[in-house]
Amino acid sequence: MGMLQGFARARAAVLAVGLMVSGCGNELEKQSQVTRVRVLAVRGTPAELVIPPEGGAPLAVRLEALAVAPDARPLTVTYALCRPGNVYAADFQCPGKDGVELPEGQLSPEDPSVRALLEQVVGGDTGDPAVRARLEAGVSFYVGYEVSDGSGTPEGGERGLRRMTARLTDTPNQNPRLADVLHQGESLAGPLPAGTEVALTPVLAEGSQETYVGAQGEVTERVTFAWHATGSGEVEFFRSVQPVEGESGESGTEYTTPSEPQQVTFYVVARDERGGTDWLTRTIEVR
């Protein structure tokens, strides 16, 4: 058995998607502002759990979290592969009783406990045509994470879930790659003047928007960006989108710098439509 129109309209559409995904009401400034310990993104490398079509164990996945705090305090992140079930139930704990720990973020089929749980995710013999068809389309599963600064306070930790895909493929999805963030056409380096609105633009590395075959034929990935910052400044657009051919969109955002001098750290997270994730961090001075 093998194991397993125009600019404003585009902005409004992207913000609506952000509301549905975040589930945090319409106070988007709280999503963009880093005021407590948080995990802004979890990246898997590769971006999905790859099951070789010719048989054999799935490839190992290395998990990394963009765990942040308003200052430079040390943070600890733990991960677990969640058991099948209602992951949003009040008593579901992953990490915890409903998950298998993933030391150092390694989702490795060589671990017997992980392998046994992955077999439940796969749900059958990959030689079965029905199972293969389901896995070729992709099967969702969850990884849980917990970040803590060790203080035991509500502001000092966060728990969450990251949905991933197990897929029978020899052409796995790749993570997009953020190459730079620009201000006035130059790499963002600062210093920036206080109390000023500035435009920020992300730069994707070549090949970040992959083309793949979807239900409606050949599709080019849409890459969205989430913008976060420490300090007392304000991000105008929490989410933006890299336009693809035939669609409008704007990848950048505007940011109003704090009125008082301070150090600000920007976190830009790029996500494609298939679980791929990347991020870039920049710390600058506001004077």
Per-residue confidence (pLDDT) for residue 158, from 0 to 100? 97
Range of the domain at 222: 178-286
What total number of domains does the chain contain? 2
Per-residue tokens: 137: 């389309």
* Virtual torsion, Cα 120, 125, 130, 136, nearest 10 deg: 70
pTM of the model: 0.87
228: nearest Cα among 278, 191, 186, 280: 280
> What pLDDT digit, counting tens, does each position of 124-165 carry?
788 889 989 999 999 999 999 999 999 999 999 999 999 999
pLDDT at 271 over 60: yes
Same domain (yes/no): 66, 142:
yes
pLDDT at 6 over 80: no
What is the rounded average pLDDT of the residues 207-213?
91
Same domain (yes/no): 114, 208:
no
Same domain (yes/no): 73, 183:
no
Average predicted confidence (pLDDT) for the chain: 88
Count Cα atoms within 13 angstroms, Cβ side, for 208: 24
The CATH code of the domain that includes 229 is 2.60.40
Same domain (yes/no): 144, 54:
yes
Asked if omega into 191 is within 30° of 0 (cis), the reply is yes
What is the rounded average pLDDT of the residues 80-98?
96
pLDDT at 28 over 70: no
